Amino acid sequence: MREIVLDTETTGLDPSQGHRLVEVGCVELLNRIPTGATFHAYINPEREVPAEAFAIHGLSTEFLSDKPLFADVAAEFLAFISDSPLVIHNAGFDHGFLNAELKRIERELIARERLVDTLILARRKHSAGPYNLDALCARYGIDNSRRTKHGALLDAEILAEVYVELLGARQAQLGLATRDERTRTNRNGAQVVRQRPAPLPSRISDAERAAHRDFVATLGDQAIWLKYRAGAE
């Protein structure tokens, strides 16, 4: 199953008040595992970036002034997300801004049914907050030390890890040794091997034994199978 973890940065809190997107970051998951495929774009909001927004994401009006407009990156963005579910923290916020930008350029809006809101997942799983991304990283031991300011792609990468934890779908560690189901640990920590009360009956027929004996006879006097045959007879 393909999913897209998505985050945005904006000039403010409400697109209806003229605030715009300034950054979009996406991470592709396949069966809940990052594939390494990403989408990232800085966007010229065609307006000033307020000091309050700059303090959060560090993207200045000057820095964004030569970046592409949303209309210039929309086709690539829509092709990347395709029709996959969108995993977003506090999805209503980002969804509102994305649809405002899409409406502005007369493109099809993103349906709410596609959204997977990790904020809702966190509230359902944990009775007590806080539920912000930093708090969830602390809860699950996820390294977010690079997150000195909000950044759409970095936050999407971190959210992908949080999402897997919220679902309890962390990939099992690989082990090269197979577990012996006959072995158990007693209360003292010692390994106890259970013994079968009676050996299983042989599944080899007399005809198969005779055929094998005839085959071994053709291998010569030094055939290693002769040692096993001698012990069995």
- Verify whether residue 95 is a known catalytic residue: no
What is the spatial distance between Cα 148 and Cα 157, in angstroms, rounded to a whole number? 15
The CA-CA-CA angle for residues 59, 63, 65, to 5°, reads 115
Structure-token pair, residue 20: 């715009």
What is the spatial distance between Cα 41 and Cα 45, in angstroms, rounded to a whole number? 12
3-state helix, strand, coil in the chain (%, to 5): 40, 20, 40
Active-site option among 19, 40, 150, 212: 150
Residue 100 to residues 32, 91, 129, 192: CA-CA distances in angstroms?
29, 14, 30, 65
DSSP at 173:
P
Query: Which positions are annotated as active-site residues?
Result: 150
